[in-house]
Amino acid sequence: QSLLIEAVEYYEEALQIFKEALGDRHPSVATTLSNIADVYDDQGRYEEALAYYEEALQILKEALGNRHPDVATTLHNIASVYKAQGRDEEALAYYEEALSISKEALGDRHPSVATTLSNIA
């Protein structure tokens, strides 16, 4: 548990550096936000995880476009949090959007597609 807290502290420091060096809306900022969300998700702090994932999602959509594989990954992560909360309908909607983007961007036989299909099942 203390290692996870320490991880968030390091990620928060990295986040500030990225924002100062690259600007608030850079994909590296989104990646760091997602990393923080991952830690909160691992801790069962789902609302905090969702807030960080949603911010990352908005940055990625602005920086890379709505149909980029990184957007699909973030949608998948959000869906996983909803699934962990028992919010199955919301999870399914996010999984389906992630699946659509992954198939379009990466092809029907990509491992990311298989992962999303497995999580929908």
Domain residue limits at 62? 2-120
Residues 6+ apart with CB under 8 A from 65: 71
Q: What is the pLDDT of residue 51?
A: 99
Confidence of residue 4 (pLDDT cuts 50, 70, 90): confident
Q: What is the pLDDT of residue 5?
A: 86
What total number of domains does the chain contain? Answer: 1
Domain of 70, CATH number, reads 1.25.40.10
pTM passes above 0.85: yes
Residue 61 and residue 105: Cα distance in Å, rounded? 14
pLDDT (tens digit, 9 = 90+) per residue, 10-42? 999 999 999 999 999 999 999 999 999 999 999
Cα-to-chain-centroid distance, residue 106: 18
pLDDT (tens digit, 9 = 90+) per residue, 69-95? 999 999 999 999 999 999 999 999 999
The answer to whether 95 touches 116, Cβ cutoff 8 Å, is yes
